[in-house]
Amino acid sequence: MDSNSERIRQEISRLVREYSRLEHGSNRPGEDPSNHEFFEPGETPVPYAGRVFDEEEVEAAVLSALDFWLTLGPNGERFERRFSEFLGVRHSLLVNSGSSANLLALSALTSPKLPRDRRLLPGDEVITVAAGFPTTVAPILQCGATAVFIDADPITGNAKCERLQDAYCPGKTKAVMMAHAMGNPFDLKTTLEFCRENDLWLIEDNCDALGSIYCASVGSASEPTSKYTGSWGDLSTQSFYPPHHLTMGEGGLVNVVSQAALRPIVESYRDWGRDCWCASGKDNTCNKRYQWQLGDLPSGYDHKYIYTHLGYNLKPLDLQAAIGLRQLDKLPSFIQARKRNWQKLRKGLADLEDVLDFSLPTHATSWNPSGDFSWDSSGCRSDCSWFGFKMSVRPQAGFSRTELVQFLDQNKIGNRMFFGGNLLRQPVFTQVLKESPASIRIIGDLSGADQIMKHAFFVGTYPGLSDDMIGHIIATIRAFCKR
C-alpha cells in the first residue's frame, strides 16, 4: 500500500469512528455512559434482544470492505482460531448461520468416511427434546433419520435427561442432539454418561448459551471439571444472529471438540462437498493436487474438483468475521452483563412467586435473595450466560400468559414465547407425522413441553438493556400482576 492509500485509509477510519459515535450511540452497552439513548417508559421500546456494538465493529467492517476480499479469508481464519481457543475446543469452522451449523453438524455424522457402525444412516435414530427451536430438530429429518422426542422440564426449559434411556433403541440410536435452552446447560453429566455407555455421538446446540459453564465429574473422573458448554460433546454449534451473545449480523459456527477427523468432514459439507481442504485462494496445500485417485475418476484428476459428500455452500463473508473479531474482544463483558441483568430481574420480581414460576439453572433447587442458588445432591453446577429471562404463568394466577404479554406489548416491552413451544404441535411437524409417521418417535406424553408451550415466555437480558429499561420491565410486570 502506497503512502497516499494509507493516508486515505486512515482518514476513512477516523471519519467512520466519528460517524459511528454520532449515529450508533444507542447500540452501546446499556451501562456505557456514552449510550445517549433517551429512555421514556412506555414510549421507548425495550427490545428483548439486539445488536450491541460501537465504532470498533463499524470500523472493522468498513476496512474489510476496502480490502474487498469478500469470501471467507484472513479475518475468518483469525476468528476461528481465537474462538476455538476461547471455548477450549480443537477446531471451529465458520458458517453463514446457526441453523446451517446444526445442519452441517448432523450431516457430518452421515459421512461414509465414518466407521459404518457409527455412521448415521437413513432410518437410524437421533434423540432430541420436544420444546425448543425447530432448526435443532429439522436436520435430523432433513438427513433421513428418525427424530426421537423426549419431554422438557418446564422450569429449566431443558430435556428431562432421565428419559434418555427410555428413548434408546439398540442398533438404531446413533446420536443425541439437544440445545442448552436459553443459556441454561442441559444435564451434561447424565447425557454424556448415557452417550459413552452406548457409543453415541453428542451434538450440543450452543447457539443460546455462549459463555455458560457446566461443572461435573463424568464417568470415572474423581474430580469435577468446569468447562464451557459447547466443549463437552463431539460437535457443537453457535449462532451469531443479532439476538445472540455476539453478532456478525448473520453467521454461525461448528465446533469440533476433540476428534480431528471430524474437521475435514464438516469442512467438506460446508464447502460444496469437495474432498479438497484448500482454503479459498489457496492451491495444493496437500502437495498431491494431481496425484489422487478417488471414486471412478481418472488418476490425477484435480483434487479441487473431487467431491466425496453431497454438500452445500454455507460460508459467511470475511467482512462478517472482521466484525466478529471485535465482538470477541467484548464477549466476557457481554456474558457478565447478561448474568447481572438476569439477577436484577429476578430480585425485582421476587415477591411474585405466587403467580409466576421462574427459571432455575440445571441442578439448582431454588434461588436465594442473595443472588446465589441452592443445589441438588448431584455435585453438578450450572453457571448460566442467560439468553433471556424465562417465566411461566401459574395456573392459579388469575390471568393468562396471553393477557400478560399483551400488556407488556402495550408498554413497548419486547417479549417472546419459548421459541416453538412443543414442536410436535407446530404445523410442520403435525404434517410430517401425517405423511411420514415413521420419521418421528415420541417418548411419553410431553406434558412438560405442553406446559412450556401454554404458559412460558421470556424478556431480555442482553447487554444493551439499561437499568432504566430493566426497572421498567419490573415495574410493568408488577403492576399487571398486583392489580
204-253, pLDDT tens digit by residue?
999 999 999 999 998 877 789 999 999 999 999 999 999 999 999 999 99
Are 170 and 311 found together in one domain? yes
**Per annotation, catalytic residue among 91, 180, 244, 245:** 244
Q: Do 191 and 133 share a structural domain?
A: yes
pLDDT digits 0-9 by tens, 35-93: 767 889 999 999 999 999 999 999 999 999 999 999 999 999 999 999 999 999 999 99
Give the neighbor-by-neighbor strand order of the sheet with 356-358. 356-358, 388-393, 456-460, 416-417
Domain end among 275, 295, 319: 319
Are 78 and 167 within one domain?
yes
Task: Give how far Cα 111 sits from Cα of 124, 143, 173, 343, Å.
Answer: 14, 11, 16, 44
Cβ-based burial of 365 (10 A; exposed 0-12, middle 13-18, buried ≥19): exposed
Cα(161)–Cα(194) distance, integer angstroms = 9
Domain endpoint, select from 319, 347, 378? 319
Strand partners, 441: 148
Per-residue pLDDT at 449: 98
| pLDDT tens for each residue of 420-449 | 999 999 999 999 999 999 999 999 999 999
Give the span between the Cα atoms of 58 and 36, in whole angstroms: 18
CB distance 131 to 422 below 8 Å: yes
Q: What is the 3-state composition of the chain as percent helix, strand, coil, each rounded to the nearest 5?
A: 40, 20, 45
Say whether both 139 and 184 belong to one domain: yes
Asked whether residue 182 is assigned to any structural domain, the reply reads yes
Give the residue numbers spanning the domain of 138. 74-319
Number of domains in the chain: 2
**Catalytic: 303?**
no
User: Residue 147: which CATH number?
Assistant: 3.40.640.10
Return all residues near 221 (Cβ < 8 A) that are at least 6 apart.
none
Q: Are residues 415 and 447 in the same domain?
A: yes
Determine, yes or no, domain membership for 68.
no
Tally the C-alpha atoms within 13 A of residue 353's C-alpha that lie toward its C-beta: 11
Q: Is residue 51 part of a domain?
A: no
Same domain, 93 and 238: yes
In a domain, 42, yes or no: no
DSSP tag of 219: T
* DSSP letter (8 states) at residue 184: -
One domain, residues 166 and 312: yes
Distances in Å between the Cα of 229 and the Cα atoms of 89, 99, 188, 281 are 11, 18, 9, 34
Which of 254, 285, 319 marks a domain boundary? 319
* Dihedral sign (CA 345, 346, 351, 355): positive
CATH number of the domain within which 469 lies: 3.90.1150.10
Look-up: residue for cell 453428542? 202
pTM for the structure as a whole = 0.96
Q: Is 238 among the domain residues?
A: yes
The arithmetic mean of pLDDT across residues 354-369, rounded, is 98
8 A C-beta contact, residue 238 and residue 98: yes
If asked whether residues 305 and 392 sit together in one domain, one would say: no
Question: For residue 374, what is its C-alpha cell?
Answer: 441452592
Question: What cell does 413 get?
Answer: 416491552
Tell me, yes or no, whether 8 lies in a domain.
no
